[in-house]
A and B are shown apart, each in its own frame.
Chain A
């Protein structure tokens, strides 16, 4: 069983819809990353968080350490948001151990 589970695996939405992608993990972590991978393959870091909530433009990331769960929200979705969204957890202490989820493929139709 993967230590990091994302849901849904695939998500199709209409432009303007509110999107939520979930990430659950089973280990103690020091930080959680949300990454976006464009159709061309490039990877961009969206958020790194260890508690609470962060917001950047139309993107919001939340984390609940007690429940070992994080969500990525996209408000007023747009076709350019179509990408794979990947959750990754840093569970290392003195070592560095980054475990990735399998990703959520988001398609936003105009």
Chain B
């Protein structure tokens, strides 16, 4: 298994543009997490899916952020419209269940100008 795959690895965009980050989880791992990491705030959980269903999205900063998991092998995190303060590294992580170790993707470094 290739592990958790994220794309793109780097994204530079202008304020106001829509950004879509993608995650391909490990097969058979039913819990998926999206995290954001910044220098100021460290790591933060944005949303948690279990069996493709969003369980907790209380970490999503505002309505500009949305996440979907249409099937067990794909998830997206969308920011529309993007703002400079959204610049961060976004990680997708995957686990068999919430109570198992998590496997992290390599992250997407987002820069919003």
Binding site for B on A (CB under 8 A): 30-31, 33, 41-45, 47-48, 50, 86, 88, 90, 92, 95-98, 100-103
Contacts and interface: CB of A to CB of B under 8 A. Distances in A.
Interface string B73-98: 00000000000000001010100001
A95 B104 contact: no
Contact of A96 (B55, B89, B106): B55
B42 A43 contact: no
B103 A45 contact: yes
B100 interface: yes
Contacts of B44: 100
A95 B91 contact: no
Given A41-B107, A97-B58, A103-B42, 5 more contacts: A43-B91, A50-B99, A97-B45, A97-B56, A98-B45
Nearest to A99: B45
B20 interface: no
Nearest to B106: A42
Interface of B: 33, 42-45, 48, 55-56, 58, 89, 91, 93, 98-104, 106-107, 109
- Secondary structure at chain B's binding surface: helix, strand, loop or mixed? strand
Given A43-B91, A98-B45, A102-B42, A92 B56 contact: yes
Nearest to B104: A43
Contacts of A97: 45, 56, 58
B42 A100 contact: yes
B42 A45 contact: no
A102 B43 CA distance: 8
Given A88-B43, A100-B43, A42 B104 contact: yes
A100 B99 CA distance: 16
